[in-house]
Amino acid sequence: MSGPILLALRLLLAVALYAFLVWALWLMWRDLRQQSRQLAAPAAPPLILTLKNDGAELTYRFTTAEVIIGRDPTCNLRLDEKTLSARHARLSYHHGQWWVEDLHSTNGTLLNAERVSEPVVAAAGDLLRCGAVLFEVNFEPT
């Protein structure tokens, strides 16, 4: 009687071991595939925002795929300007282009003097106005 029980336990242990090995290999394969996709994805070209303020120019360079402009300390470009909202505008890189999006700001976001009501593509040399702050948008070649 103990012979068949012992055989069943051995078979159950073997099945559990093989199931664990298949699961571990599948997880490693999935992780490697995800890493290869991230490495193959094109990196965002560096974004250069030139602040134009009463004849003075201040240049900011960003290498991330998303830049948020506003007064909030968590923003990538934090400016202490009363016409800016806490989180005023977002520039994000996707589909091979930089996009400008207004984040429901009080004083609005304009790209080349046109109000941004939905995400729009930004080109080199465009003028971006967030409240009373004016930026020139440029990109560094990669």
Return the structure tokens found at 102.
Answer: 């207004």
Instruction: Give the H or E element holding residue 118.
Output: none
pLDDT single digits (tens) 97-123: 999 999 999 999 999 999 999 999 999
CA dist., res. 5 & res. 11, Å (int)? 10
pTM for this model (two decimals): 0.69
pLDDT single digits (tens) 34-84: 888 777 767 789 999 999 877 778 999 999 999 999 999 999 999 999 999
Paired sense of beta strands 77-78 and 66-70, if any: parallel
